[in-house]
Chains A and B, each alone.
Chain A
Amino acid sequence: MKYEYWLAGVKGLSTAKKSLLRKHMKTAKAVYYIEETHLNKLEFLNEKDRNKIMQAKKQGDPGPEYEKMIEKDIWFVPWFSEEYPKCLKEIPDHPYALYVKGSLPHENQKKAAVIGARRCTPYGEKYAVDFGRVLAGRGVEIISGMARGVDGMAHRGALIGGGKTYAVLGCGVDVCYPKEHIGLYVDILEHGGGILSEHPPGTAPLPQYFPARNRIISGLSDAVLVIEAGRKSGSLITVDMALDQGRDVYALPGPVNSVMSEGCNRLIRQGAEVLLSPEELAEQWGLTEERGLVRGRHQAGGRRNNKRLKEAGGGSAPYGEKEDKNEKMLETPENLVYSCLGLYPKGVDQVAAETKLDVKAVMELLVTLELEGYIREISKNQYIIARY
């Protein structure tokens, strides 16, 4: 197996050529011990390929490295193995092998990729979490890239929904990138999901790896959901690949003046399906049954853990079901202030102007609402509603 591991790790050689080489030599071991003269006779390899192989051979015995990987509980899945996902095998230039921590997505489950911008708005955050939560709650496996922004929120949503979620990284699976997602990384594994990569363990996250890993994200999924994407977002690369691979593409519409939704809105114009709500999508897919919706796990011991919230929402929190505050506190100044807030941040002066209250009163009301967990201050004196 260590020779298979070695062959998979040869850099700069396409999957097709690696497969041909292995077929020609019968085993990976034979490839490893191939003579240079023999190599030169192989017509399907060019000068560059030969150099790459010779270079890889010089790096010495792959054994210790392979052992190290096994020790780290990392799973090596070459394309010809049983476990290699079938849907991924279908795509052009599928990875020669996957390195997996945790588990692989299940063959017979519906799989959805939830992707979007790293610098997303609270709107994108909310819907990434929502789609992740609801779909995962109905048994859909959520696949994304564990990046900042939409990706991370989608994973988080899936975990809240009590489902499995898989992250495809652009670095080794033992490298947590971005670093601040270490909590998410651990949670994904703890909840039976998996971390996947086509790069051997220890590979550093280099920019050129990321567009390529997007083909794996879409390749593993049945459908690609774009939550928020700017005009030149990397998510659009994933969409192109998904279309090449014959996957369904869905896009979440956004305000026309939001640059972070421009990519999505354009996708819709080009014919992408419109996402209206996660529930509707689930029904469309024939997934009506809710299974084990675990609400607010994320927040149960978390920071907005105050008494009032518990009473009001049974411990569910920002990502829980929306509670209709309007009905509860009709015509109070709190309601007035709350109702003029949304998912795009507003400042104190703007709230004061819209509610016709003076700033002093508005400030007090905002703090009251914040203390009770209804709104969040995301930047100095910039507020959004907290219970999505």
Chain B
Amino acid sequence: MSFSTIISAAVDGLGVELVHVEADISNGLPVFHMVGYLSSEVKEAGERVRTAIRNSGFDYPAKRTVINLSPATLRKRGASFDLPIAAAILASLGEIGPTATEGYLIIGELGLDGRVRKVPGILPIVMEAKAAGICRCIVPGENAAEAALVKNMAVIGAGNLREVVSILRGQCQPEIATEGKEPGGYEEDMPDFADIRGQQNVKRAAEIAVAGGHNLLMIGPPGSGKSMTAKCIAGILPPPDMEESLEITKIYSVLGMLDEKAPLIRKRPFREVHHTATRAAMTGGGMIPRPGEISLAHGGVLFLDELPEFRKSVLEVLREPLEERSIQISRAYGNYRFPADFILVAAMNPCPCGCYPDMRKCTCTPAQIHMYLSRISRPFLDRIDLCVEAPRVKYEYLADERKGESSAVIRKRVCRARLIQKERYKNTKITTNAMLSGKELKNYCRLGEKEHALMEQAFTVMELTARTYHRIIKTARTIADLEGEEQIRESHLKEALGYRIMDEKYWRKQEV
């Protein structure tokens, strides 16, 4: 037997393609030849594999070796083909029986001593393998817990090449890996709303935002605890269900950001992005695109502190994902769509010095304030449902020893509201109130006569636009859900109106 083939896989964007690793060993000049549209790190596998095979105690004959990775149209990157290449060579050499590798997916990086090292993207790869009907996987030991998240799959974690060979030879009974330990609950090392004194208004707005999946903008002077509040928001997010968890875990898996021992992500992510972030860092990118911050925040919260300090182009690219809940990245190499369904939480000062509208303290000129605010475009603001003021904390609040509501209590209410929404929108693609659009809004958010009159009044008095009008109704829907009410009432609408995004007048310029 001088030819053999092993099934492995390559990650492409967030998708996976199965790759057949073929090895052929024949008489001829002793060269090691690798083909199949390989990037340089894959080509380097040759050196690692030959050394690892020798150091694992196998003979490597001076023969002509050809390795092919198929399909040849797919660009292969990374070091995850080391182990399948080694296995294919050993099978060609007859070290492993001809049928022993059938039904296996093998993946892993090799060290020169034959040790198997972890690789990114294991979860989506194993999921894809299962979909393709493969029921046994050999993965690096460090990735075993992650791979084992896929049910009905025999996952074997391998520590070194010798172990892999003996498993394939049937010499030892492989240990089937398990999921790993269940990660800790929410209360662990997370800032809690109970620790924030005062700021009732911001807390309430955060609760509504999370309950309905609405985007939130906090405006307040420096030191008013906007960032702290944002961090607490992570603690009131409803726990993701298994499907969502796996989806989030998949993204982190591809970027190699999972915890080895407890790979499954059971908390919704909270991503804080610094304002120096580039467009590619935000949306994902690269020659062969990788997911960016907005995809890392998928299912959770994306927090942008000091919103006006962000480059305008960076904020503008968020417009599409905020609407579509995913991002399309087009490169010469191909098109990728990454999920990006997140709650945007943003914070900013009301003016450069932070004291506006308290003219007793504010030192900014109207032109400066205008310049500062106009860094955020109207279309961007149009995608934010709730806007709230974060006031400077008063001493009385700091001195107040009583604790506020804890995050766990708030989370319970949020979960209940989410459950109501899930029930209401079953059989549709919608999951939260924030996703409602014009037509569905009419179906799910009927207003009574009194409520219509109120909105009509608000429309003229507060100079609402059609867009803000819809956002207010959606917010009111969530407030009603938080109270467990089927019908949107006046009080819900009024509260929603209080959190509306500031109108053109404030945002553009003051007039006499």
| A interface with B by C-beta (< 8 Å) | 118-122, 124, 148, 152-153, 155-156, 180-181, 183-184, 255, 257-260, 303-306, 344-345, 347-350, 352-353, 358-360, 363-364, 366-368, 370-371, 373, 377-382
Contact = CB atoms under 8 A, between A and B. Distances in A.
Nearest to A305: B460
B423 interface: no
Residue of B200, B387, B388, B510 with most chain A CB atoms under a 10 A cut-off: B200
B181 interface: no
B198 A349 contact: yes
A381 B201 CA distance: 9
B204 A360 contact: yes
B356 A380 contact: no
Interface residues of B, number: 42
A15 B396 CA distance: 61
Contacts of B146: none
Residue of B359, B458, B463 with most chain A CB atoms under a 10 A cut-off: B359
8 contacts: A156-B512, A181-B512, A344-B360, A358-B200, A360-B495, A364-B495, A380-B387, A380-B389
A62 B356 CA distance: 48
Contacts of A349: 198-201, 391
Contacts of A377: 502
A153 B388 CA distance: 29
Contact of B201 (A120, A124, A363): A363
A306 B509 contact: no
A367 B201 contact: no
A348 B389 contact: yes
B498 interface: yes
Contacts of B387: 380
B200 A359 contact: yes
A259 B362 CA distance: 9
B365 interface: yes
Nearest to B396: A353
A381 B388 contact: yes
Given A119-B365, A257-B360, A260-B360, A352 B200 contact: yes
Nearest to B202: A349
A371 B391 contact: no
Interface of B: 198-201, 204, 219, 350, 356-362, 364-366, 387-389, 391, 394, 396, 454, 457-458, 460-463, 491, 494-495, 497-499, 502, 506, 509-512
B203 to A, nearest CB: 8
Contacts of B506: 378-380
A350 B393 CA distance: 10
A110 to B, nearest CB: 24
A255 B358 CA distance: 13
B461 A371 contact: yes
B198 A344 contact: no
A367 B512 contact: no
B415 to A, nearest CB: 19
Contacts of B201: 347-349, 352, 359, 363, 381
A88 B167 CA distance: 106
B498 to A, nearest CB: 4
A149 to B, nearest CB: 8
Contacts of A259: 360-361
B42 to A, nearest CB: 54
B358 A380 contact: no
A373 B461 CA distance: 8
A119 B365 CA distance: 7
Closest 3 CB pairs of A and B: A381-B389, A363-B498, A379-B357
Residue of B204, B498, B509 with most chain A CB atoms under a 10 A cut-off: B498
Contacts of B498: 348, 363-364, 366-367, 381
Nearest to A382: B357
A358 B457 CA distance: 25
A227 to B, nearest CB: 13
A331 B119 CA distance: 69
B360 A367 contact: no
Contacts of B361: 259
Contact of A303 (B219, B356, B362, B463): B463
A317 to B, nearest CB: 12
A379 B429 CA distance: 37
B275 to A, nearest CB: 20
A174 B496 CA distance: 46
Given A121-B360, A364-B491, A367-B498, A350 B365 contact: no
Given A119-B365, A349-B199, A371 B511 contact: no
A153 to B, nearest CB: 7
A108 B70 CA distance: 100
Nearest to B508: A180
A180 B509 contact: yes
A370 B198 CA distance: 24
Contacts of A371: 454, 457-458, 461-462, 497
B433 to A, nearest CB: 18
Given A349-B391, A360-B204, A184 B357 contact: no
Contact of A260 (B200, B359, B454, B510): B359
A304 B463 CA distance: 10
B273 to A, nearest CB: 22
Contact of B461 (A303, A350, A352, A353): A303
Contacts of A358: 200
Contacts of A360: 204, 495
A306 B365 contact: no
Contacts of A350: 391, 394
A250 B332 CA distance: 73
A119 B512 contact: no
Nearest to B505: A303
Given A156-B512, A370-B462, A373-B461, A345 B391 contact: no
Contacts of B510: 148, 180
A121 B357 CA distance: 8
A122 to B, nearest CB: 8
Contact of A119 (B366, B391, B509): B366
Contact of A148 (B357, B366, B461): B366
A368 B493 CA distance: 10
Nearest to B498: A363
A347 B389 contact: yes
Residue of B199, B360, B460, B511 with most chain A CB atoms under a 10 A cut-off: B360
Contacts of A366: 498
B92 to A, nearest CB: 70
Contacts of B219: 379-381
Contacts of B494: 363-364, 367-368
A380 B360 contact: no
A152 B511 CA distance: 9
Contacts of A255: 360
Contact of A380 (B350, B457, B497, B511): B350
A148 B364 CA distance: 13
Nearest to A303: B463
